Structure 1
Amino acid sequence: MKLNDINFLCQSTEKEISNLRKELSKCPQGTLVICNINGKNRYYHQKKNADGSYSRHYLGKDNIGLARHLARKTYIKNKLLDLENELKSIRRYLSVRKKTDYKQLLTKDSIYRELFAYDSWEYEPYDKSTSHPEALIIQAPKGDIVRSKSEALIANALYDRGIPYRYECGLDLGDYIIHPDFTVKKVGSGEIIIWEHFGKVDDPEYFQKNVVWKLKKYIENGYIPGKNLIITWETKNTPLSIEEVSKMIEHYIEE
């Protein structure tokens, strides 16, 4: 698990603990005691008296609501204990974890970049899409031309992290050749990941002709979203962000 994921887990755990403590403060006093008598559970409300002794009161059908609240209180207390232990372990890990910025070796400014053998793959000749060349209008950092600002955003992020990719490289899906936006090669394993960005998912016609059709083709040929197929999308009101791109790279591509 990456440090960003661990920090997010720490924050979400802290929030959940806080919410559970608030709920616990509103729970009824005392605890629930369950006794099995002749094969049937009987519920009792146990309280601690001022002198330190305990007293119990039977909860019949008329008090089943209180029994449920006390059962919930038991659950909350046990979950709190588990989450507090987990948070303590996360904090202990973060206190000793030292991050080495190895990614700097792969950036475009690194003196090592040209020496990595895997770089040659992305520059080798490949079957590139010839469809609508007039739409290729935005310069990407590697020298290729892409069709949109969002695709440039993805290309920049991949390049800056030293991740080799091919833009609109032909992919044989049996009865059809498709040209995914990006064909990405994982640095460590060499595994190939397809990345499709859908830019107008709020357009019904575009959605049917591009998104539905393409996803069906990919899945039929073993490209599964979340496994070896990355999908990003945007609408007119919700453009693709660098944060989304970074999360996709960290989660699915970097090893």
Structure 2
Amino acid sequence: MDNLIAALEFEIIREHKLITICQNFLNTAPKGFLTVRPRRRSNTYYWTFEDGKGSARKQKQVNITGNHDLILQLTNKMICERILDRCLKNKNLLERLLNRYKPVDPFSVMKSCSTKYQDVFLLRKKHLLEKRLTAPYKKCPYNPKLHVHETDYGELVRSKSEQLLGNTLFAYGIPFHYEEAFECANGVTLFPDFRILLPDSSWKIWEHLGLLSNEGYCSDNAKKLNLFQQNGLVIGGNLILTMDDNKQDFSSAIINQIINDHILPLLHGIRVDKAKIIKGVQQPYMK
């Protein structure tokens, strides 16, 4: 929807530029127009224009068959006039469409309804989110050697930073899956740290980089980021990227700021029941 509006705005700007170019050209173009008369062996070209003033004004034709420059100028003028006419019509049509077009955004529709229904709408969105949250999903198989840090909601994760992040998401009532499979176009399956589920059926990936002091770890994650980029993930958009500091610490303040700035506004006040997050964690592993 946003892409459509942006495309309309871009096209209006493009049409306006073409209108300006055509108008500037026509201001310096020769008067009159080109008339072409087919002959037996070739065409004859005439410059047709109004000559004289007042009642003495008459249409005049001059044979310009040998004047190729003037023929091209008059031809360009004709094309430019038609482009100008089409651009003016397009611009008016696009502007009317942009002014009257209303994106089909469920939240904007809900906001247009009476305030007494707002709680019902949020309850509906919460129900749909919790349904997605508790549905089985393919995730990274449990490894007792790697998944050693237990969270407040009973899930074993790989690091203390992931434990802190998971606990914070759980405390906020934010719906998420840990290490849900991300299928790449080339057949590779990745398991990002956290997938944040959003009310509009979209999601954000939150990937935390912990062992950046390890060169091999850095190399592996550079390849992962490359795959993310190739498969439509953008840092600052649908990909949140955080990292430990040089003391191998991860700040709670940073987590809270990201949640408040980039996640809570997208939830529109919805918080899922923590029991549903636990139920989602307890889903069997899918292959």
Which of 59, 83, 90 is the matching residue for 1:54?
Answer: 59
For the 8 Å contact 2:45–2:65, the answer to whether it is kept is yes
Give the equivalent residue in structure 1 for 2:40. Answer: 38
Deviations 1:73-109 (A, max 9, x none): 1111011111112222234445555678742449xxx
For the 8 Å contact 1:28–1:69, the answer to whether it is kept is yes
1:69 Cα deviation after fit: 1.8
**In structure 2, how many angstroms separate the alpha carbons of the residues matched to 1:54 and 1:183?**
75
Deviations 1:1-54 (A, max 9, x none): 744543443333223212221122122222111222125333222221123322
For the 8 Å contact 2:129–2:198, the answer to whether it is kept is no
1:81 and 1:55, CA in 2 relative to 1: closer, same or farther beyond 3 A? same
SS of residue paired to 1:230: coil
Question: With CA pairs under 8 Å and 6+ residues apart, which has the higher RCO, 1 or 2?
Answer: 2
Structure 2, unmatched stretches of 5+, are: 112-117, 142-146, 148-156, 208-218, 237-287
Say if 2:48 is the partner of 1:11: no
1:114 Cα deviation after fit: 4.1
Deviations 1:132-172 (A, max 9, x none): 868869969x928xxxxxxxxxxxxxx9xxxx986863145
1:65 and 1:121, CA in 2 relative to 1: closer, same or farther beyond 3 A? farther
**In structure 1, how many angstroms separate the alpha carbons of the residues matched to 2:187 and 2:98?**
51
1:3 and 1:212, CA in 2 relative to 1: closer, same or farther beyond 3 A? closer
1:214 and 1:94, CA in 2 relative to 1: closer, same or farther beyond 3 A? closer
**In structure 1, how many angstroms separate the alpha carbons of the residues matched to 2:46 and 2:40?**
16
1:67 Cα deviation after fit: 1.3
**In structure 2, how many angstroms separate the alpha carbons of the residues matched to 1:96 and 1:175?**
43
Give the equivalent residue in structure 1 for 2:264. Answer: none
1:122 and 1:54, CA in 2 relative to 1: closer, same or farther beyond 3 A? same
Give the equivalent residue in structure 1 for 2:181. Answer: 170
Spell out the pairing of 1:73-222 with structure 2 (5 A cutoff).
Answer: 73-94=77-98, 96=100, 102-104=106-108, 105=110, 111=119, 112-116=121-125, 117-120=127-130, 122-124=132-134, 126=137, 127=139, 143=169, 169-172=180-183, 176-179=188-191, 209=223
Percent identity for Structure 1 against Structure 2: 15
SS of residue paired to 2:232: strand
1:66 and 1:6, CA in 2 relative to 1: closer, same or farther beyond 3 A? same
1:64 Cα deviation after fit: 1.2
**In structure 2, how many angstroms separate the alpha carbons of the residues matched to 1:138 and 1:24?**
68
**In structure 1, how many angstroms separate the alpha carbons of the residues matched to 2:92 and 2:182?**
48
Counterpart amino acid of residue 52 in structure 1: R
1:209 and 1:95, CA in 2 relative to 1: closer, same or farther beyond 3 A? closer
**In structure 2, how many angstroms separate the alpha carbons of the residues matched to 1:93 and 1:41?**
44
Counterpart amino acid of residue 39 in structure 2: I
Give the equivalent residue in structure 2 for 1:242. Answer: none
For the 8 Å contact 1:194–1:230, the answer to whether it is kept is no
Larger Rg, first or second structure (1 or 2): 2
Matched pairs, number: 191
User: Which one has the bigger helix percentage?
Assistant: 2
Deviating more after overlay: 110-119 vs 65-74: 110-119
